[in-house]
Copies of this chain bind each other. A is one copy, B any other.
C-alpha cells in the first residue's frame, strides 16, 4: 500500500474503477455459442454467474424463483419487507408512490416493524418449493438472533452482508459475532462481505467462508464517498481480493474461496470487467431493479438509505423497459449495456478468445481512464 506519495507524511496506493479499464482482444476468437458462463459454489451449480442482491427492490420470493429458473441465484433479504410483514406488497406499492419529500421519513417508519422468525421460515419455504437453490441474507448484527431460524428453514446458501464486514469486529457494548466459530458450526456454505481490500478479504477467507462479497456500498443507491470519505474503486478491489484468494489457496493447501463482485455493476461491460479482474460471479442490484417484473416497480433502494441518524443514499428512480429474462438473457433491442447481460458477457469472451469464466479471468486489460466515449 505505498506506491504514491500523497505528501511527506502519507503514502497511498493508486486504485482503479471499472470505468478506468477495458478488456482487449487477444490473438484468438471464438463462436459465442461455444462459450460457457457456468460456475459453481460448494455443491450448487449455476448457468449464470449472477446473484441477485438481497434488497427489497430486487428480490422477492417470486423473483428469487424466476432468477433461479433462469440460471442465477436470487438472495432474499431476511430483514426486509418480506420478513417484517405478512403482506409486504402493499408497502412496496406505497413506496413506489411516495412523493420525494416524504419518502425518507415514511420508509424509516415502514422499516421500523420487527423482523419475524415465522416469516423467514415461510418465505424460504416458498422458494424451496419451486425447486431452485435457496439463499437468504442477514446483516452481521442480526445473524446471531436469526441464524437458527434460517438454517432450520432449510437455506442452501447463507449470505452475511453489510457495508463492511470484517473478521474481527470490536465492540464494547455487545458480544460481536465470532464469524470463524459461527461458520465452522454451520452446516451450509456461507458467503460474506463486503470486503474491499486484500487484508480484509484474506481474514474473511480464513473464517471458512465459501465466498466473499467484494464492495463497499459503492452502488447506485449510496453516497458513501461524500459522507464517509470511504471509497474502494471496484477494479482494484476485485483484483486485490482475487490476489487474496490466490494467497489463501496457497496457505490453506488448496481451498478455493469464491470472489463475488458486489457494487458498481451498472452495465454488461462492468460485469465483463469484474470477471476480468478475477471475480467468479457478480451480485447485481440496480441493474435488476430496472426490470419490469422487479418488486421495486421502478424504484431502487438499500436499507442504509433509511438509517435514522446518518442516511447514506436514497430511493432512486430506475427506468424500466425489459423483464428479468430479457435483462439477463436477451434478446436486447437497446445498445446501452443494460439488457442481455449474459449475451454480452458471452460475446465478449468469444471475441477475446476465452471459453470459460475461469480462463477469462486472465484476459488482458488496459488502463484507459480518460476516454469518455
From A23-31, A68-76, A127-135, the one touching the partner chain is A23-31
Q: Residue of B at shortest CB range from A364? A: B1
Which residues, 148 to 200 on A, are CB-close (under 8 Å) to B? 163-174, 195-200
B269 touches A229 (CB 8 A): yes
With A167-B27, A364-B1, A366-B236 known as contacts, the answer to whether A225 contacts B269 (CB < 8 A) is: yes
Q: How far is it, in angstroms, between the C-alpha of A227 and the C-alpha of B269 when the chains are bound?
A: 5
Contact of A169 (CB < 8 Å), options: B28, B195, B237:
B28
Contacts of A246 in B (CB 8 A): 8-9
Q: Does A333 contact B (CB under 8 A)?
A: yes
Q: Does A240 contact B (CB under 8 A)?
A: yes
A242 touches B10 (CB 8 A): yes
With A310-B340, A336-B223, A351-B228 known as contacts, the answer to whether A366 contacts B13 (CB < 8 A) is: yes
A31 touches B173 (CB 8 A): yes
CB distance from A227 to the nearest CB of B (A): 4
B239 touches A7 (CB 8 A): yes
Interface size class of A (residues with CB under 8 A): 35 or more
A6 touches B269 (CB 8 A): no
Contacts of A144 in B (CB 8 A): none
Contacts of A98 in B (CB 8 A): none
Contacts of A172 in B (CB 8 A): 31, 33-34
From A46-54, A273-281, A285-293, the one touching the partner chain is A273-281
A29 touches B166 (CB 8 A): yes
B278 touches A171 (CB 8 A): no
Q: Does A83 contact B (CB under 8 A)?
A: no
CB distance from A341 to the nearest CB of B (A): 9
With A15-B366, A367-B12 known as contacts, the answer to whether A268 contacts B31 (CB < 8 A) is: no
Q: How far is it, in angstroms, between the C-alpha of A20 and the C-alpha of B13 when the chains are bound?
A: 12
Q: Does A245 contact B (CB under 8 A)?
A: yes
CB distance from A149 to the nearest CB of B (A): 24
Q: How far is it, in angstroms, between the C-alpha of A243 and the C-alpha of B5 when the chains are bound?
A: 11
Which residues, 264 to 307 on A, are CB-close (under 8 Å) to B? 264, 267-273, 276-278, 305
Contacts of A313 in B (CB 8 A): 335
CB distance from A165 to the nearest CB of B (A): 7
With A9-B245, A16-B6 known as contacts, the answer to whether A229 contacts B271 (CB < 8 A) is: yes
Contacts of A311 in B (CB 8 A): 332-335
B22 touches A229 (CB 8 A): yes
Q: Does A331 contact B (CB under 8 A)?
A: yes
